[in-house]
Each structure stands twice: as structure tokens, then as C-alpha cells.
Chain A
Amino acid sequence: MINIKINGQPIQAEPGKTILQVAKEHDVHIPSLCYHKDLNPTGNCRMCVVDVKGGRTLQAACVTPVWEGMEIETNTEKVMQDRKLTLELMLANHPQDCLTCDVAGDCELQDLAYEYKAEVPAWGAKGTRYAVDSDPNPFIRVDMNKCILCRRCESACAEIQVRDVWGVSSRGFDSVMVAGAGVPMLEARCESCGQCVAYCPTGALSNKMNYGVARAHQVRKVTTTCSYCGVGCQFDLQVKDNKVIGVHSNPNAPVNGMALCVKGRYGYDYIHHPDRLVKPKVRRYLLEGKQKSDIRETIFDTRKSNIELSNVGSPWAWVETEWDKALDIVAKKVAETRAKFGADSMGFLTSAKCLNEENYLMNKLARQVIGTNNIDHCARL
């Protein structure tokens, strides 16, 4: 351990840690924008500058390691003024549309502007430099006018998703984030995981599916586990008026952290889809207590007359029913089959969308109730 001082207060710090990390551990607030704990720090935005005694310039806390005897001032007048000015330079080229912006209330730039009372300078906001909603990606909305070039999207894409879609083009004031060689994201190997959106501190990258549906304070967060596969990623469902309107990363998720795949992050629209089955359906002939052999003839009839098998009137039609009724039919058929052809005539295939407990029960059903070892799981494929 080494001894440092932050704002005059003596602190024992672990060598190798940065000023920002040590400050955070000791509840000293230093603002940051381009820094994120999951990503390699870059020192781009200069919001976290602090005064280190003896330094010719201010130091960026996110990238400066602590050393023995270091004396740090985090909120001198000069430091506060420079942070405010840096913010103003960012705001000057940022649209003043917080009133209608989708991420207002969930925007790190907005929070800092509030904290530092930074206004958009009178000379700023000279119009729209880039096309709004400029990328055809079906899930991710791109508005580079709001970008502050923190480059978190680049790091997230490279370090977490390892797709390397985002990069910086041009230089100086003309710098802008681009996908691949300045092409639409999907042409630049993007798999629409949305990590870039999750790490974007502003509204430059946002979600297209629920754009304009709700502000951060209007939604209830429900932490849940993804139902798509067995990894067990956690995330926060965004619920408004009892409807799931989106998925946000939950930074405290034990398995996945902020990372999600396209299915977990954007595959939520089945929840309220009108085609979703919420009650069981069975073939009409089963409901009527008939055997397949009884109605075999109708197949040939329908084929001859070009009638759809599932027409409402057809014995093959799917009819909505109660769970008890449906399960009775299944149980009866299973018992019959087992009695007639033996247990090993049957096989069980379970799903990765089921819980572990459900898969365990299926296993019990196959081996103990039915008496066969013919059980497998889709995740083996």
C-alpha cells in the first residue's frame, strides 16, 4: 500500500490503481465520461482532470496511476472551471433537443451539464452536421450529431463483443465515429448486439424499436433472466403501463455484466405479439374423442377439393382449449403409445428456453415415469 492525499485527506491506496479508482473507493466524486469500468480507459474526454501537486498540466484521473506521496486536488477552482469549459465545448456541438431526446434523464452528458451548470454556449449548435437516424440497422438508431467522441462504442465493440465494427474517421473537428469503411453497420460485420448502445453516454446511439416510447423515469425496471438460452444472462425489462417496451443491460448482472446478444436485447417483442399462444390448442378430432384412423379419409377429400386442412370446420383444425383438457389428451395418448409399443418407442426433447428445473422434471418424466432413456436437449445440436 502507498500513501497519497486526496483533497488533503491521507489515503492508503493500492499501487497500480488509477486516481479515479482510488477516489471512487473513498467516495470522492470525480466526473467522467469516456471512462467506463468495463473498458480500457483512453483519457479522451478530459472531464476527469484533477490537479496533481507538481504537475505542469492537469492530469486525467482515469488514466493516471497513483504514486507514493501523490497529492491530488479534485475540486479546485481551476479544475472545476476547466471541466465546465470542456463540457461547454462538447455541448456546443450537441443538438439542444433534450426536450424530445429519447435518452433525456438517462444521459451522462445531461447529468454533468446539470452538475456543472454548463450551458450551451451562445456560439454553439450550428445546425445538424450529420444525417439523423443515419443507419438502416433495424435495432440501433444512430444520430452522430449527439456524439461527443468518447469512443466507448469503439471500445465496447472491440473489447466486449470483439466485432470491431466502430472506429473513428477523419481528424480534428471533423472526426466522427463510423462503422467499418464508412458503411452501414450491418455491412461492417455488426451483429446488432447493441453493446455500443448500452455503453453510449448520450443519445448518439439509441434503441430503434422503442424510440420515443418512454423516458427513463416513466418505466419500471424488472430484473429477470433471459429465456433464450442456457447462459443465464440477466437484464432489466423496461415496463411501461404493464407492457414490456425494452431491455436494458443491468451492470450488476452476475453472469454477463452489461453484455447481451441480439436475441436477449432486442428479441422481446414476442411477449405482447398477437400471434403468441397463451392457451393450448388441439386438433378438433382429438377434442371430439376420435382416432386418426377415423378421419383419415378426410385428408384425401381435402386434397381433392383443395380445402385447407386447418379450416375451422375441418377435423384437423386447431381449437383453443383449457390446459386440463389438453394435458388429459396428451397423457392418454402417451399412456396408450407406451402400452402398445413399449417405453423405448418414445423419445423426449427438451428446450433451452425452459428453466433448469423444467428440464430436470422432463428428465424425471422420461426416465422414471415413462421408463426410457431417450431424452435429449436442443442445446446439444
Chain B
Amino acid sequence: MTNKHIVHKPIPPEIQECADKHGGSRETALEVLKEIQTLHSALTADSVTDAARALKLPPHHLYGMATFYSMLSFEERKKVLRVCDGPVCWLKRASGQSSVTSDQLVSEWQNKIGNDFSVERTSCLGLCDRAPAVLVDDEQAGPVDVRDAKKVCEGWRGVPTDYSKPRKGEARVMMSLAGKIDPDSIEDALANGVYEGLKNAIRKTPDEVISEVEVSGLQGRGGAGFPVGRKWRFVASEKRTPRYIICNADESEPLIFKDRVLMDTNPHQLIEGITIAGYACGASEAWIYIRGEYEYQARRLENATEQAKSKNLLGENVLGSGFSFNIHVHRGAGAYICGEETALIESLEGKRGEPRLRPPYPPQFGFRGQPTAVNNVETFCAVPHILKNGAEWWKSLSNYTTPGTKMYMVLGHVKKPGLFEAPFGLTLRQVIEEFGGGMVKGSKFKFALCGGAAGTISGKSILDVPIDYSSAQKGVSLGAGAFLICDQSVSAVAMLRELLHFFAAESCGKCTPCRVGTWRALEILDRMTAGKGQKGDVDELKTLADLMQVSSFCGLGQSVAIPMKSALALFGEEFEQK
């Protein structure tokens, strides 16, 4: 029996062309979907099916992706305005007026800005230094308020932050050239010593380079703090080739924007770090997986790789060393979970960004099933300096047991919120007083969200604990290095609700505890923030946190419990009263 529902019709030429242009492989699926969306101003079931046929994939693969990534849409829209719904922007707005829900915010913007734009909420845009922030199509804007809607329409994009002047007490290594060079000029970079590390590296054997990084004690800056040298050693010792390097620039954790600043102020430093990693691991190609919201930075990186190629710092036979290496820039399309390394790899392979089973870990089985080293932008940015100045110098930067410097973000109710670079071992008190300029007038420290959305909510008792990758056990996590300082006006319940709102929106839906647990916890917290808490709510939140922590499939679900548990432990009474 023939299936009468399948009527053969040719693939529309523009879709076939689009698929062919990108190479027609599965890995290009995200690019193809984005392009079709631009072409037709929305995706449809038909266009997704046609794209799947052009890429020789089952339609559900592409439909699954199209509904997974928040930047892809089935609704017709001309221009898109994405309003940041992250905790920092929320705090900025909350301090001005009483709490505004994201739905209210969206409709306020929609009313003001008119129907030329489709307004939607988005999880943290990584523009916390410019909060409150919005994304106008792919242009970053901030600080902008609803009142600025008209100006935004006319092309106003707020004021970018100036990073040329270090704060008092800063120790700048990765940020040393910030604001001092033209980031889009490789001549400027070369004149200021960028790529010296690479030149040093290729004079050594790959093994010596790994040893240097191992000796330096550099730990991964994504949040987990895994020793970088050891990870590279794993990859280099795998016999299978090709091996790959992936730079995780999917900076989607709320509060975190250091990678954006690093890419913006000195993209060549990153290119150099990735190339050194490629040389050390015996890799042939690298991908920078950058979040779709960072279009501006993605273009800057593309430009930088082209420039590096023209100077033979990338491409065939780098600086005559016989080592050939290429770097590609791959844009995400809006999904926090793609910052998890295996989800990132899945996404890079043209699939839904759902985490993989581990083991095997990426150094054994990564991109395309090959040995792959995945590191954070900040990690790669530190590498050239170690190769240039030596491991011992790197260790000497810090008096603390964890060597080197780290990018920190201090946000919220401090006088001078923003980004700075300093050695490890800072206490929260130092972060607030020395680098943040102290609490704003009239504010008293109540708690800090430490590390990111998946970090601890910490109170006064930990103000003097030195912070590093292991201090989470003492109640203050480092995570990716951000601290959102909250004063007495901020309700812990409302803050936790914001965080759960984020996690529920970003859970991939693969495993039951995270999929339903985040949603249920949000439901309870929604009620509590409205003052309609019920008996047993607090216990249920604790139970859900326990469940998600030990039973979830990946780190996202497991770490939702960190802010939940610490907030409940610290502000149990506040929760009980709601």
C-alpha cells in the first residue's frame, strides 16, 4: 500500500541552495534553519521538512532543533527585540519599581516600541555590565529602559562599558591590553606582544607545552576548575586522529560576561590560546562555539581568524613549524544547556543541545566521536601568558594556593559594579569593599549570589572565606567568578524565584527530575512571591532540591539544588513566612 499522504514535491530551490551553500551536512543544520528563518521571516512545518530533505535528515531532527533553540521561531516577525530577563537586569528594575514579571515587561516594551518589533523575553544576555539590557535583532544594547523605547527604535544602543582603566588593586594579565589596542587590528596586537606565546610554544615539543601548562597549575575557568594540562594530556594521549579543540564561548550563565569582554577587547589573545592548545594536543581543527546572542563578537572573532591566517599564525604550516591548524566560529541559537560541554558538542554536530551520557568524556569521545578538548574562553586566554612568561611566573601571580589570576564580576548593590581581574583567594568582603567600592548608600549587605545562577546564595557568615574552586563546601562558590551583591531590599524568595524561572526555561527536558522538578519548584515559588505560600511548601522545595541534585542527568539539574538549598538554609524563616 502506498502512503497516499506522501506526495512528492520538489524541494524549493531557495532551500536546496541554502543547504548546498553550507555544505549540506548535518552539522550545518542550525545555520540552514537560521537562514531559512531570515529568508521567510519565520519557520514553518513545510520549510523545516524541506530543509530536512535537502540535508537528507528525518524531519523530526530539524523540527526538534527548531523548537529547542530560543532564537528560532515559528511566528512571523520582522524585527525582534529580546528583553533580558536575567537576575541582574531584574534587580536593576526591581530597585526602581516594584517587582515586574517578565510577561508584564514584554507587554510594556511591546506597547512602547510598536508593532514593527516582536518583543520576547530571553534568559540572561551576558550584558550584566550594561543592565538593564536588550538585544535588538543581533545588536546588543544597554543600559536601556522601557522609557528609552523610542530611542532604541531610532538606533540608540546605550553605552558600552570602558575597560581601559584598571581598578585599584587589579592585577591584569588577560585584560592587560583591554582598551589599549584596536581589537580589530592584528598589527596592534602583534606590536603589543600577542602571539609571542605561540611563537614560544612551537619552539617546544607538544609534550613540553603540556608539561608547562601542567606545572602552571592552570585550572579550567568554566566553573569546575578541572586541571587544563591533565585534560590536554588525555586528548594528546589518545591514538585516534583527527583530534579537535573546542572553545566554549556559550557564555549563558546569568551574571557572567567575562568571556564577552575578553573576546571584545583582545580577540587575538583567544585565537593564540586555542592555537597553542591545538599544537599541544596534536589537533587539526578548532571550533569556537559562541552563543547566538554574541553576533557582534562572533564577527570580531571571524575577522581575527582571517587576519591571523593572513599572517600565517593560523592555517597551513603555522610559522613554518609544520603544524597546520584552522579555527571555525560556530554560532549557537539560544540555549543555556549548550554551555554543558557534551550538550555543546551535540549542538555543534547539528542536534538538539541535550547532554550526552558520560563516560565516555570528550577527551576520549567528543566532537564527531573523536578526542576533543573543550575549554572556556578565559582558560584559553590565560594560556599564551603562561607560554610567554613561564609556568613559574604564572604561579607567582598569586599568594594563594590556586595559581594565576581570574576574571571577577561584581554586580548588584555595590558602588562600582563591573569586571576586574585579580589573583585567587579573594574574600567576598574584599570583592565588595576593595573592588566594588563598597555597598551603595543606604544598603546593607544581605546576601550574595556567588558564581552564577547555579551558585550558592551566601550570607554574612562567609564574607571572610577565601574563594576558590573548592570553597563551595564552605558555603561560597566561585563558579565562573561572578558575585551578585544584594541588600536588605531584596527578598531571598523573589531571588530564588528568578533563578528557578531561568532554570525552568532552560531545562532541556531530557530527564524527569529536572524537567518537572524545576517547573514544580517555580510553581511553588511563584505562589510564595505572591504571598500565597502553603503549609509544606518549604519541605517540598527541599525535597525537590534533594531529588534534582542526585537524580538529574546532567550538571544543570544537579546544580539547581545549590542556590535552592543554600537559600533555604540561610533564609528558611523568610520562606516560611510567605
Contact = CB atoms under 8 A, between A and B. Distances in A.
A166 B59 CA distance: 9
A149 B515 contact: yes
B510 interface: yes
A82 B3 CA distance: 45
Given A85-B547, A172-B506, A189-B3, A180 B513 contact: no
B9 to A, nearest CB: 12
B45 A172 contact: no
Given A44-B512, A167-B58, 12 more contacts: A43-B511, A46-B513, A49-B550, A89-B520, A123-B520, A148-B512, A168-B64, A168-B352, A178-B64, A186-B3, A187-B5, A191-B3
A169 B511 contact: no
Contacts of A291: none
Residue from A78, A82, A90, A171 with most neighbouring chain B CB atoms (10 Å): A171
B509 A172 contact: yes
A286 B68 CA distance: 70
A169 B513 CA distance: 18
Contacts of A173: 504, 507, 509, 515-516, 518-519
A311 interface: no
Contact of B63 (A46, A158, A180): A180
B305 interface: no
B534 to A, nearest CB: 10
Contacts of A187: 5-6
Interface in B321-360: 335, 337, 352, 357
Interface of B: 1, 3, 5-6, 45-46, 48-49, 52, 58-64, 66-68, 335, 337, 352, 357, 504-513, 515-520, 523, 543-544, 546-547, 549-553, 558
A164 interface: yes
A187 to B, nearest CB: 5
A57 B358 CA distance: 13
Given A45-B511, A123-B523, A170-B68, A57 B516 contact: no
Interface in A141-181: 148-149, 154, 158, 164-175, 178-181
Contacts of B60: 154, 164-169, 178-181, 188
9 contacts: A44-B511, A47-B512, A58-B551, A89-B513, A90-B512, A158-B58, A181-B52, A187-B5, A188-B59
B521 to A, nearest CB: 11
A89 to B, nearest CB: 4
A33 B48 CA distance: 31
Interface in A322-340: none
Interface of A: 42-47, 49, 57-58, 60, 63, 78, 82, 85-86, 89-90, 92-93, 123, 148-149, 154, 158, 164-175, 178-184, 186-191, 262
A179 to B, nearest CB: 7
Contacts of B59: 180-181, 183, 188
Residue from B46, B67, B506 with most neighbouring chain A CB atoms (10 Å): B67
B553 A92 contact: no
Given A44-B510, A63-B357, A171-B68, A181 B63 contact: yes
A172 B67 contact: no
Contacts of B335: 171
A187 B48 CA distance: 13
Residue from B46, B516, B543 with most neighbouring chain A CB atoms (10 Å): B516
A171 B61 CA distance: 14
A172 B513 contact: no
B376 to A, nearest CB: 21
Contacts of A148: 512
Contacts of B544: 85
Contacts of A44: 510-512, 553
B558 A57 contact: yes
Contact of A169 (B1, B63, B512, B516): B63
A92 B513 CA distance: 12
A70 to B, nearest CB: 14
Contacts of A170: 67-68, 509
Contact of B547 (A86, A93, A165, A179): A86
B58 A164 contact: yes
Nearest to A150: B512
A170 B64 CA distance: 7
Given A85-B543, A123-B523, A169-B63, A43 B550 contact: no
A183 B45 contact: yes
Contact of A46 (B52, B357, B512): B512
Contacts of B64: 167-169, 178
Contact of B516 (A93, A167, A168, A171): A93
Contacts of A63: 357
A178 B65 CA distance: 12
Contact of B504 (A92, A172, A183, A262): A172
A296 to B, nearest CB: 39
A341 to B, nearest CB: 39
Contact of B550 (A58, A90, A164, A175): A58
Contacts of A154: 60
B300 to A, nearest CB: 29
A180 B512 contact: no
A289 to B, nearest CB: 42
B509 A168 contact: yes
Given A181-B49, A182-B45, A167 B61 contact: yes
Nearest to B69: A171
Shortest beta-carbon contacts, A-B, top 3? A167-B60, A175-B509, A164-B58
A345 to B, nearest CB: 36
B508 A165 contact: no
A43 B505 contact: no
Contacts of B48: 181
Residue from B506, B511, B546 with most neighbouring chain A CB atoms (10 Å): B511
A155 to B, nearest CB: 12
A57 B550 CA distance: 4
Contacts of A123: 520, 523
A43 B509 contact: no
A206 B1 CA distance: 22
Contacts of A60: 553
A92 B524 CA distance: 14
Contacts of A82: 546-547, 550-551
B551 A46 contact: yes
A78 B551 CA distance: 11
A186 B45 CA distance: 14
Contacts of A164: 58, 60-61
A141 B341 CA distance: 38
Contact of B515 (A78, A175, A189): A175
B512 A89 contact: yes
A171 B523 contact: no
A123 B558 CA distance: 23
B532 to A, nearest CB: 13
A154 B63 CA distance: 14
Given A149-B509, A179-B60, A180-B59, A43 B357 contact: yes
A135 B519 CA distance: 28
A78 B549 CA distance: 12
Contacts of B517: 89
A152 to B, nearest CB: 14
Contacts of A47: 512
Nearest to B335: A171
B556 to A, nearest CB: 10
B131 to A, nearest CB: 25
B88 to A, nearest CB: 22
Contacts of B58: 158, 164-165, 167, 180, 189
